Amino acid sequence: MLTDLTFVSKCGRPVDTRYRRIVTDLPVPESLVLLEKLRQFEPRSMAGQPPVVWHRAEGFQVEDAWGNRWIDWSSGVLIANAGHGRKEVADAIARQAAAHLLTTFSFANEPRAQLAARLVSILPDPLRKVFLYTTGSEAIECAIKMCRIWGVRAGGRAKHVIVSFDQAFHGRTLGALQAGGIPQAKEWVVNLDPGFVQVPFPDGFRVTDTDFSAFERALAQRGVDAANVAGVMLETFQGGSSAFAPVPYMRALREWTARHGALLVCDEIQAGFGRTGKLWGFEHYGIVPDLAVFGKGISSSLPLSAVAGRADVLDVNPPLSMTSSHAGNPVCCAAALAALSLILDENLVERAAQTGELLHRKLAAIAARFPQIGCIAGKGLVAGLACVRPHTTEPDSTLAFEIVRRAFAQGVLMFAPVGFGMATVKIAPPLVIPEDAIEESVGVLEEAIGQAVEAQ
C-alpha cells in the first residue's frame, strides 16, 4: 500500500472557483491503483511529487480524471512556457507525425533545418550556430566537451578546468552532475574529476560577498590558475533558489573569461524562452555568453534541447564526431517551431514581465509578514521563496514541503522541493497565466504559509 504518502488530505470543504476545483480526497482513492502500479514497477526514486495523475493539461491548468483542477505553478518543471497542450503545438506534432517522418538520426530533415535557422535568427551575436539534442543534461555534456576541447587546443592539456557554482544544478549525467554544486548528489561518483571546481554563487542572501573579487579569491584558494580555466558555467538564475547574480558581477565575469581565454556558458535550461520576462535570461545582465544551453521551454512539450554558440567554437569537431540518435528529431523540432511562434506572436515574453511584476509585488508583501520566508528571488514568472528558521538563513525544508502540500490540497500545484536540504517553494507557472489567476493562487499560497507556520 501507499503508506508512505505524505500528501494525504481529506476533502473537507470542496474548492470550486473559476480556476480551481478540488472535490475529492487526495490522493483520489480511485487513482491509488495506478500510483501503486508505478510504485511496484518503477524505482522508488521516481516518487516524491504530489500524487496527482495528470489526465489533461491546458494553458495554465492541470486536471485529473476525477473532477479536480489545479492552477499549475510547475509548468511541468518549467517546460510548458507557451502553455500546456497548446493546439498549435499539438497540430504541428500531428502534422509532422502524419507526414510519415518520425525520426531521421543525423540525416537531414526539414523541421531541424528550420528550427536551427529560426533559433539563430533570434539569438544575439556571436551565437551563430546550434547543436540540437534531446535532454538538458545531454546539451550540458556537449557544452562541457566544447569548453575542454577549445581550452586544450588553446592552452594545452592543463587548460581543462571547468568552473561552476555551489548549489548549481546542471543535470544528472556524469559531467553535468560534476559541474553541479551539490556535493551530496555526487557522492556516488566516488572518484570525482578534479577538473571540475565550484565557487560560491553570489546570491546576496546566503552568500553576502557579491563582489567579483570573491570569484578570483575562491579560485586562488582552490589552487586554480586562471590560465588553466577552459570554461565557466552557470545557470542564468540558480534553479534551486531562483537567485540571479548581481549585474556588475556578471559583467566582470564576462570580461574575466574573455581575458583568460575561457568560454562563458549560460545554462538557460530554466531561464530561456521568456521565463524571466526577457527572451533570454542573460539579457538581464547585458552580456552574451560564448555558449548558451537550452532545454525545457524550447518546445513547451516534447524532449528537445540545444547548445547555441560561437561558430568558431561549435565548428571545432569534424563530421560524425558528435552524433546523438534522437538529436533534431523532426517531430520535436516541429513542436518547438510552433511553441516558439506562440511565444513570439502572443508576446508571452512581455506578458511574463508584466504578470511577473504583479507576482513579485504580491510575494514581497507576503514575505514581509512571515520571518520564515527569508528572501524571494527570481524575475518574471519564476520565483523562489526561501523557507528558513525565522530571522536566519538556515533552510527549513519541512516548512517548504508543508506549504507545497497545503497549496496542493487547495488546488495550486507545485513540484515538491526535493533533496539535500533544499527549502525553496518554487513558483513557475506557464507564461499564459492571467493576472487574476496569479492573484487567486498567491492568495492560496499566503493561506498555506499561514497554516504551515501555525502548525509548526
Ligand X SMILES: Cc1ncc(COP(=O)(O)O)c(C=O)c1O
Binding site for ligand X (CB under 6 A): 135-137, 140, 169-171, 235, 239, 267, 269-270, 295
* 19 versus 165: smaller Cβ distance to ligand X: 165
Given a contact cutoff of 8 angstroms between Cβ atoms, the answer to whether 378 and 237 are in contact is yes
Q: DSSP for 192-247?
A: --TTEEEE----SSS----STHHHHHHHHHTT--GGGEEEEEEESB-TTT-PBPPH
Judged by CB, which is closer to ligand X: 24, or 270? 270
> What gap in Å lies between CA 335 and CA 297, rounded to an integer?
11
Q: How many angstroms separate the CA atoms of 54 and 430, rounded?
A: 16
Cβ neighbours of residue 147 closer than 8 Å, sequence gap 6 or more: 162, 230, 231, 233, 262, 263, 265, 291
Which residue number is nearest to ligand X in terms of Cβ?
A: 136
Q: Please tell me the distance from the alpha carbon of residue 296 to that of residue 76, in angstroms, as a whole number.
A: 9
Q: Between residues 244 and 370, which has the closer beta carbon with respect to ligand X?
A: 244
CA torsion 326→332→334→340, rounded to 10°? Answer: -130
Residue 282, C-beta contacts closer than 8 angstroms, at least 6 positions apart: 236, 266, 268, 271, 288, 289, 292
Question: What does the chain come to in residues?
Answer: 456
Parallel/antiparallel/unpaired status of strands 69-72 and 61-63: antiparallel
Indicate the residue among 43 and 318 with the shorter CB distance to ligand X: 43
Cβ atoms of 164 and 180 closer than 8 Å: yes
- Measure the CA–CA gap between 339 and 273, rounded to whole angstroms: 10
Q: Residue 136 or 289: which CB sits closer to ligand X?
A: 136
Kindly report the three-state secondary structure assignment for every residue of 131-148.
EEECCHHHHHHHHHHHHH
- What is the nearest approach in angstroms of ligand X to the Cβ of residue 170? 5
At its nearest, how many Å lie between ligand X and the CB of residue 128?
23
Q: Assign 449 to helix, strand or coil.
A: helix
Torsion-angle region of 69 (φ positive above 0: left; ψ -120 to 50: alpha; else: beta): beta
What is the closest distance, in whole angstroms, from the C-beta atom of residue 74 to ligand X in the complex?
12
CB of residue 105 vs ligand X: minimum separation in angstroms?
20
What would the grid cell of residue 114 be? 528550420
Q: Among residues 339 and 448, whose Cβ is nearest to ligand X? A: 339
**Do residues 148 and 160 lie in contact, with contact meaning Cβ atoms separated by under 8 Å?**
yes
As measured in angstroms, the least distance from the Cβ of 390 to ligand X is: 29
- Report, in Å, the least distance between residue 412 CB and ligand X: 21
- Distance separating alpha carbons of residues 287 and 31, to the nearest angstrom: 48
Distance separating alpha carbons of residues 119 and 128, to the nearest angstrom: 9
Minimum CB–partner distance for residue 279 and ligand X (Å): 17
Task: Give me the long-range contacts of 93-99 (CB less than 8 A, separation at least 24).
Answer: 93/301, 93/302, 93/331, 93/334, 93/335, 93/338, 95/334, 96/330, 96/331, 96/334, 96/335, 97/331
How near is the Cβ of 76 to ligand X at its closest, in Å?
A: 11
Residue 27 or 384: which CB sits closer to ligand X?
384
Query: Measured from the CB of residue 142, what is the shortest distance to ligand X in angstroms?
Result: 12
Cβ closer to ligand X: 64 or 235? Answer: 235
Minimum CB distance to ligand X smaller for 266 or for 343 = 266
CB of 269 to ligand X, least distance (A): 4
Rounded to the nearest whole angstrom, what is the least distance from the CB of residue 360 to ligand X in the complex?
20
**Nearest to ligand X of 129, 170 (CB atom):** 170
